[in-house]
Amino acid sequence: MNAENPNIHVADRPVIRQLDEAAVNRIAAGEVVERPASAVKELVENALDAGARRVDVAYADGGKTLIRVTDDGCGMTGADLPLALSRHATSKIDGSDLLNIHTFGFRGEALPSLGAVGRLTLTSRAAGHQAAQIAVEGGREGPAKPAALSRGTIVELRDLFFATPARLKFLRSDRAEAQAIVDVVRRLAMAEPQVAFTLTDLSGGGPGRTLLRADAEPGDLFDALGQRLRSLIGADFADNALPIDAEREGIRLTGYAALPTYSRGAAVEQYLFVNGRPVRDKLLIGALRAAYQDVLSRDRHPAAVLFLTLDPQEVDVNVHPAKAEVRFREPGIARGLIVSALRHALAAAGHRASSTVAGLTLGAMRPETVPRHYQMDRPAAATLAYAAALQAPLAPGLAEASARFDHPAEPPPTEAADHPLGAARAQVHENYIIAQTATGIVIVDQHAAHERLVYERLKAERAGRGIAAQVLLIPEIVELPAHDAAMLLDHAGELETLGLSLEPFGGSAVAVRAAPALLGPVNAAALLRDMIDELADQGASHRLASRLDAILSRMACHGSVRSGRQMRPEEMNALLREMEATPLSGQCNHGRPTYVELKLADIERLFGRT
């Protein structure tokens, strides 16, 4: 027993021990290498930091049995190899400034972590030196020895997590792990469009199956990125994406953002980069969502590839070993830049809608996939003779009968070519306007189109006159935690412009003196708490503005041309002209297209005329 404290038993006291290096490396590997895709990410980033112009990635069985990354970078000498496998040994920083980071990697943890949990072989050759190879298995390192290699580096990792078999139980199926690898390589290929990438699946032996091939793209970085995205995401995204290039207070935003009518059912085409590093940052994802808030419904997600470039001193990438999270010194500037730049680009697109809308429409009109052969394509001899007779000069009696049905054709309208959305020709089912353009036809949903026009008109009026505030006869007092009340009052000036007037009311209480008149009766306590949650999560609150926009959207819906109303030709044409002059008129307030454009060539194909 301990004389000073009888409740402590000396035999039961935990003993402090120094963990051996193998155990330390395995613990670190749990943070750096969560799954095979994490290993691929670390190795490809090392290759890019080495100045590689070509990176070849191969894997087998979802990366569980084999991962191989080959590059043509600067390589390492035989003396460098043992040091590269030591923890916290790196050529990328000197340790004096952990914020001034210009490379993907900087911790010096990836290679020793991989060697601790798998069988790692490192082969490399630096210019002017002989190639060398070193192997490490479960943390046990062998000697460096000569090898055959012309240039660059080959890193081969076999049997990932064989030294920590418990980790294997948490891996998903081979297909799921393989998909994660594809996603990692795709993101890194977007970040470096002037570097060639290949990804090969070697499962089952043989030469393997090439899953991704991206040749190095020529031209300036912006053009190269556009071509790289076309090859990685597809022509549909490239054809319906708007170029983004904006700058604010030292932060530059570039990339491509898709039209609202080219939206997805999940956030599968959202790629965000900070100083070239792929990230999954909550602040940036929220900003992207906010930029499309006015043009997409909640169940649809925008598609975008966006790059933020700023001074490394203004962003901390040393938040987590996986380096997927970042922390901005001025998060409000980064968020505001994304929202304003994307909204400006979407507004500048005017009435433009996604080209995929027409493709889906044409697909719906082609229910049959098997080509059909019509009788006119292979007529019988008797049919040919009859057709020739019909084209011969008519007998007098037949000519008189035919004349009753033969009216002179009206000259084609000339005004249709003068406007992008053409000239109205008809209204069908009292809901759809058919317009003729110079190259085809346009079908407009009159209610959806007018709803957007009225909504934009109401927003413009709100911006010009401000939000009318309704002074409360009895101010509503809301008790809040002191920190929340202070945070809310810090934004009181901004909220005042939206019609919400707040004042401190002693202690941590807040008095709501006025609320936006548009909202009508409002639950002030619930509204304030929602805004506090948003401020804590994103550093800014757009809850009130969103609710006001929702009110305006409902007002626009009730004030727009209703389905089932017959419209005169001059009304239909006026609607088309206003659509052409109004930003965002290509989609309704919920992101659905307001019109479909069909080219004449597509229509002719529907009828087998080509």
- Domains annotated on the chain, with CATH: 21-214 (3.30.565.10), 222-349 (3.30.230.10), 417-610 (3.30.1540.20)
- Phi then psi for residue 399, to 5 deg, are -65, -40
Per-residue model confidence (pLDDT) at position 338? 95
CB 564 within 8 A of CB 410: no
Angstrom distance (rounded) from CA 333 to CA 419: 39
Angstrom distance (rounded) from CA 433 to CA 431: 7
Angstrom distance (rounded) from CA 524 to CA 500: 10
Where helices occur in 198-272 by DSSP H, the ranges are 221-232, 235-239
pTM of the model: 0.73
Nearest residue to 273 (alpha-carbon basis) of 237, 236, 221, 235: 221
Q: How far from chain centre, in Å, is Cα 544?
A: 26
Angstrom distance (rounded) from CA 210 to CA 224: 22
In this structure, are strands 469-479 and 509-516 parallel, antiparallel, or unpaired?
antiparallel
Q: Mapping DSSP to helix (H, G, I), strand (E, B) and coil, where does residue 300 land? A: coil
Where helices occur in 244-324 by DSSP H, the ranges are 282-291
* CA distances from residue 87 to 24, 29, 122, 180 in whole angstroms, order as listed: 10, 11, 15, 26
Across 418-460, where does the E strand assignment appear? 423-428, 432-436, 440-445
CB 583 within 8 A of CB 421: no
- Phi then psi for residue 416, to 5 deg, are -60, -35
Residues of the chain below pLDDT 50: 93-98, 105, 367-378, 383-384, 386-387, 389-399, 401-412
Where helices occur in 160-256 by DSSP H, the ranges are 165-168, 174-191, 221-232, 235-239
Residues near 55 by beta carbon (within 8 Å), at least 6 away in sequence: 44, 47, 48, 69, 70, 71, 195, 196, 197, 198
Per-residue model confidence (pLDDT) at position 372? 43
CB 128 within 8 A of CB 151: no
Residues near 292 by beta carbon (within 8 Å), at least 6 away in sequence: 260, 263, 302, 342, 346, 591
Angstrom distance (rounded) from CA 498 to CA 143: 69
Angstrom distance (rounded) from CA 401 to CA 391: 15
* CA distances from residue 238 to 229, 242, 384, 585 in whole angstroms, order as listed: 7, 8, 48, 21
Q: The tokens of 194 are what?
A: 């002037």
3-state helix, strand, coil in the chain (%, to 5): 40, 20, 40
Nearest residue to 318 (alpha-carbon basis) of 107, 84, 29: 107
Per-residue model confidence (pLDDT) at position 414? 52
Bridge partners (DSSP) listed for residue 428: 432
Per-residue model confidence (pLDDT) at position 94? 45
Per-residue model confidence (pLDDT) at position 168? 84
> What type of residue sits at position 427?
Q
Q: 378-393: b or e for each residue (b if 16 or more CB lie within 10 Å)? A: eeeeeeeeeeeeeeee
> What type of residue sits at position 563?
S
